[in-house]
Amino acid sequence: MNLGHLSDLYRQLILDHAQHPHHRGQLATANQTVNLNNPTCGDVIELSVELKNDRVADIAFNGDGCSISQASASMMTDLVKGQPIAQVRAEIATFLEMLMNDPEVEGADELGDAAILATVVKFPARIKCATLAWKALEQALGEAQQHE
Amino acid sequence: MVKDIATARNDFPILSQQINGQPLTYLDNAATTQKPRSVIDALTHYYEFDNANIHRGVYTLAERATEQYEQVRQQVADFIHADRDEIVFTRGTTTSLNWIALGFGAQVLQPGDDIIITVMEHHSNLVPWQQVALQTGANLRYVELTADGELDLAQYRQLLSKKTKIVAFTHVSNVLGTINPVQLMTQLAHEVGAYVVVDGAQAVGHFPVDMTSLDCDFYAFSGHKVYGPTGVGVLYGKREWLKKMNPVEFGGEMINLVQREITDFKAAPEKFEAGTMPIAQVIGLGAALTYIQKIGWSTIETQERRVTAAAYQLLKEIPGVEIYGPEMGPHRSALVTFNLKGVHPHDLATVLDTQGVAVRAGHHCAQPLMQTLGVSATTRASFGLYNQLSDVKRLAAAVRAAKEFFQV
């Protein structure tokens, strides 16, 4: 059975993150938490973020989902931990643009491991899996702003 | 028209295509079925020759459209052994169930009354009752499952009381495939004076359904799950209850006389059919029921049982596969829901898609059931009359390939 096409989606790096996700859990120090689900499929993410001195000081996630959604959350937490909030906002925008419009968007190479998720564009049914964590983070930062 | 079930597949133009370089293996029939050529032709013919608004025009074309539309009402009545004035056309099962809940349930329920539903309900037979319970102050009670994925009838008997006003449940579970004992459950509900509402979306089209023997008070199903068009459904109600039930939508054609302050409604079924109905779709539904009857129930049932049994067996043989719902037998309808250990259903469905195998992965609009099963999602293969053993073999081979790919 020829599954060659599938390796485009499930690169080894994605499988590694999915099987051994980074920053899984809950933060005792969190000052923002967001629960987001994908109502079409039931994937759930619970993101906890500690924002301090205009930075994402710490971040962790829990939840249940497919390998794409788990890998994406793991890669995202690797990328944004310790970064200034303004930079994280720009990266979220770049990532969403990459998945939803332009897989070769400018700045994609600055997304760390998450840049590899551009391959998901070839599997339109799976784009929402890849964007769930990023949308949760976008919401967490948005809510933090409202409270400022 | 088909004589032999082996060639039924050829009646469905969509099935002759390739998906991702593979023959289309369509196993999502519980979501929607494909349409035979005769249904597609009926829709085209209607728009090319007979299109006019029904019940309004005095001209020949309008007469012709009206006659065809009303003939299908009689055909549906005959198909489920009811009378024509007990058949209301709707947009689909969801609309039918909402209208029953809002137009009838809300009228008969008092604060403190019980509505009994089951944990295996699709959201469309759960959320409307939840809402009506909130509106009326009634309590929602759930029939739970036994270990083998059937309804716990002993617990159901305990739930029934003088307070029970409505019992609503699915004929066939869209996740577990369980065929529920409608006749028995209806009889028990009637003994305490409750009304019985049955969601038939997963039953009609797979085996004969007879309102006179089931004796339920309301029954709902969709056109698009019985090889007919989307956008049309059926609401059956016993004559006396349809008389009592309020319309939920108001507008043209459902009225006898409108005055400035009050309106006199038509009798059922017309009082429920406000506005321009899905005329072409109703006529297409008629063509679909004709197609089913030409193939015949015994042929359909035999083929679907054969295919389901093969799927059950081939999947069960794969290490790491867990199947949900009853054992293969008389209580299982034409679907198999399963999980492959270590592989999320979405990932599995993506692998199957690369092999041309279309299945459903997710919560199947049954979140409370998923919670009861202790899973967030499952994969479902569901069958129609055109599925063959070769489809099932492709499914099993693709699941094995996924297992190898993800090394689980």
Q: Could you write out the three-class secondary structure of B173-229?
A: CCCCCEECCHHHHHHHHHHCCCEEEEECCCCCCCCCCCHHHHCCCEEEEECCCCCCC
- Say yes or no for a CB contact (<8 Å) between B346 and A129: yes
Write the pLDDT tens digit of every residue in A11-66: 889 999 999 999 999 999 999 999 998 877 778 899 999 999 999 999 999 988 89
For CATH 3.90.1150.10, the residue range(s) in chain B are 5-31+296-402
Assign A144 a pLDDT band (cuts: 50, 70, 90).
Answer: confident
Of B346, B401, B406, the CB nearest to A41: B346
CA distance A52 to chain B (A): 34
Query: Any bridge partners for residue B362, and if so which?
Result: B378
Counting residues of chain B whose pLDDT is more than 90, the rounded percentage is 93
Residue with tokens 């109600």: B237
User: How close does chain A come to B112, measured CA to CA in Å?
Assistant: 32
pLDDT at A47: 97
Q: From CA B335, how far away is CA B202, in angstroms rounded?
A: 10
Q: Given B351, B353, B377, which is nearest A42 (Cβ)? A: B377
What's the CATH code, domain A6-147?
A: 3.90.1010.10
- State whether residue B172 is helix, strand or coil: strand
CB of B186 closer than 8 Å to CB of B211: no
**Surface of A (35-54) touching B: CB under 8 A:** 40-44
Q: How far apart are CA A29 and CA A36, in angstroms?
A: 20
Q: Which amino acid is at B312?
A: Y
Output the pLDDT for position A42: 73
3-class secondary structure, B38: helix
All CATH 3.40.640.10 domain ranges in chain B, comma separated: 41-293
CATH of B5-31+296-402, one of 3.90.1150.10, 2.40.10.480, 3.90.950.20, 3.40.50.720: 3.90.1150.10
Whose CA is closest to B230, among B15, B32, B26? B32
Contact between B204 and B80 (Cβ < 8 Å):
yes
Closest partner CB to A66 (pick from B20, B347, B398): B347
User: Which residues fall within 8 angstroms of residue B306, CB to CB, at 6 or more apart?
Assistant: B389
Chain B residue closest in CA terms to A38? B362
For chain A, domain boundaries: 6-147
Task: From A64, A69, A68, A112, select the one nearest A87 (Cα to Cα).
Answer: A112
Q: Hey, how many other C-beta atoms are within 10 angstroms of the C-beta on B84?
A: 14
Torsion sign, CA atoms A5, A6, A7, A10: positive
Written as one letter, the residue type at B244 is: K
Reference A136, options A56, A17, A18; nearest CA is A56
In tens digits, what is the pLDDT along chain B, a chain of 408 residues?
A: 445 788 899 999 999 999 989 999 999 999 999 999 999 999 999 999 999 999 877 899 999 999 999 999 999 999 999 999 999 999 999 999 999 999 999 999 999 999 999 999 999 999 999 999 999 999 999 999 999 999 999 999 999 999 999 999 999 999 999 999 999 999 999 999 999 999 999 999 999 999 999 999 999 999 999 999 999 999 999 999 999 999 999 998 898 999 999 999 999 999 999 999 999 999 999 999 999 999 999 999 999 999 999 999 999 999 999 999 999 999 999 999 999 999 999 999 999 999 999 999 988 899 999 999 999 899 999 999 999 999 999 999 999 999 999 988
Q: In this structure, which CATH number among 3.90.320.10, 3.40.50.300, 3.40.640.10, 3.40.50.720 belongs to the domain B41-293?
A: 3.40.640.10
CB B232 within 8 Å of CB B285: yes
